[in-house]
Structure 1
């Protein structure tokens, strides 16, 4: 009986892990596809003049499972623009995943086109002027798609032994664990 309970717990935990991993893959693919769609749609969006009100590099730190520290830097931009007499604030440079760099100089270089006070062209969604972008392209969408596919493929590879264990258990009447 203990073997059956242990096997079932293993199957449930393994199944949840696999579903989570596959879900992350689906999320990455969906976000990448959505960003590409928005970038394509923005090609026909009208433009207006805007002004950069903030441009800075955000320093982020993450620690991996072995305790190693990793620094990365993200360029952040904020700009104001007006559509139909209504003022808006935007923060999107381009659609997709926010870029991060391993050193501050690269992040600063990404901000070079957007110094505070600079006049910029803002492309806005005519159906929702609060949605705007400075560059009508998407970033890192291919990377997101590839990672999503890898996550789903790994999930499928992990699911096969789990499914085989379930089938073996169902047809043999055993716990699926070798003696």
Structure 2
């Protein structure tokens, strides 16, 4: 019985270790992209529907122009993975204040696909948390080993 419990804990821990590792791998991609100056053309906060709790959702929308490979290009992504949405209008508005229309910023361009650019590199915070599910892997394997041994 304890062997089964241990293996279950180890399997759940391994699932989350793999998930966090993949999140970090995806974030690492943008950290290799070169930076280039860009100009903010549009910076607005739009109403984006309703949250699961019934509160209004707000989305930060941005458009910027950057040069790459001798061509002027347009971008609209803050991060690679998702848009910036929140039920807290002030929180979403902080992005608008950070990137006002007409301001200069730095964007990061995918050298393999220069049409893809972001204003912010993805965070690698997932890797900082990977130790916690790894404890479940180690602990679960210890419980399983002890259960088999007894």
TM-score bin (small chain): 0.5 to 0.7
Alpha carbons 1:42, 1:125 under 8 Å: kept: yes
Moved over 3 A (4+): 32-38, 138-142
Is 1:127 paired with 2:127? no
CA separation of 1:40 and 1:80: change in aligned 2, threshold 3 A: same
Map Cα deviations across residues 52-92 of structure 1 (whole Å, 9 max, x no partner): 0000001022386xxx8431111111101011111111111
Question: What secondary structure, in the 3-state scheme, does the structure 2 residue paired with 1:128 have?
Answer: coil
In 1, Cα distance between equivalents of 2:124 and 2:85? 11
Structure 2 unaligned spans of 5+: 1-19, 128-150
Alpha carbons 2:51, 2:87 under 8 Å: kept: no
- Radius of gyration: which is bigger? 1
In 2, Cα distance between equivalents of 1:90 and 1:82? 11
Give the C-alpha shift of residue 38 in structure 1: 4.0
Tell me the equivalent position of 2:43.
Answer: 55
Give the C-alpha shift of residue 34 in structure 1: 6.9
In 1, Cα distance between equivalents of 2:23 and 2:75? 16
In 2, Cα distance between equivalents of 1:139 and 1:78? 25
Structure 1 unaligned spans of 5+: 1-31, 143-179
Give the TM-score normalised by the residue count of structure 1. 0.52
- Structure with higher RCO (Cα < 8 A, 6+ apart): 2
Question: What secondary structure, in the 3-state scheme, does the structure 1 residue paired with 2:55 have?
Answer: strand
Is 1:84 paired with 2:40? no
Give the TM-score normalised by the residue count of structure 2. 0.61
Give the C-alpha shift of residue 139 in structure 1: 9.2
Count of residues in Structure 1 that have an aligned counterpart in Structure 2: 110
